[in-house]
Amino acid sequence: MSEAMTARAPAEELNRLTKAASEALTDSMIERLGATGANLLEVADRLNNEETRDAIHTVLRRLTELHRTGALNTLFDVVVLLHAVREASTDNIVERLFVFIETMANTFASEDMAALADSTRTALQQASAQSAAVQERGGLFAALSLLSKPESQRSLQFLLNFGANLQRQCGKKT
């Protein structure tokens, strides 16, 4: 082929393609193409915004990181779980859940519980300081000497009673 024919062939093909497309498109198709083109240009314009571009790059980086660590699957599993919970939730279940939350809040948000927590914290701090101040004496006779003290015996008895009561309570619930 000559150079003139080679240069003319792509231009001629393009003209034929344009003519075929214009004959095949209906008015509604052209309208939809125009709307799609306008939307595409709007998106391209938004991508030229520096903040939008940075946000998209950040999302893509984080998405890649989630994929690399396997957390993307976990994220989608959580989404599926939340959807299943939402679908399974009935008004009765939601009402019972809120009653439970309210009961727990009333139980743990009381002055008695706050006083108990404060007393426990103070006792633990004091016990920690006292235990740190005692010089360790190793051996069997030191343990026997410690066991001969009435406060040690009361403490051990308390812990034994607590353990036994806890076992009984757990046995009742099973």
Q: How far apart are alpha carbons 104 and 113 in whole angstroms?
A: 12
Distance CA(73)–CA(76), nearest Å, equals: 5
Residue 173's SS3 state is helix
- 27: tokens are 């008015």
Note whether 63 and 72 are within 8 A (CB): yes
- Does the pLDDT value for residue 158 go beyond 80? yes
* pLDDT tens-digit readout, 94-148: 888 899 999 888 888 888 888 888 888 888 888 888 878 877 777 888 888 888 9
The residue type at 147: L
Burial 113-124 (b: 16+ CB within 10 A, else e): eeeeeeeeeeee
* H-state helical runs in 25-90: 27-47, 50-69, 71-88
Burial of 146 (C-beta count, 10 Å sphere; 0-12/13-18/19+): middle
**Residue 153 contacts residue 147 (beta carbons within 8 Å):** yes
pTM beyond cutoff 0.85: no
Q: What share of the chain is helix, strand, coil (3-state, %, to 5)?
A: 90, 0, 10
> Which pLDDT tens digit goes with each residue over 20-76?
877 777 878 878 888 888 888 888 888 888 998 899 999 999 999 999 999 999 999
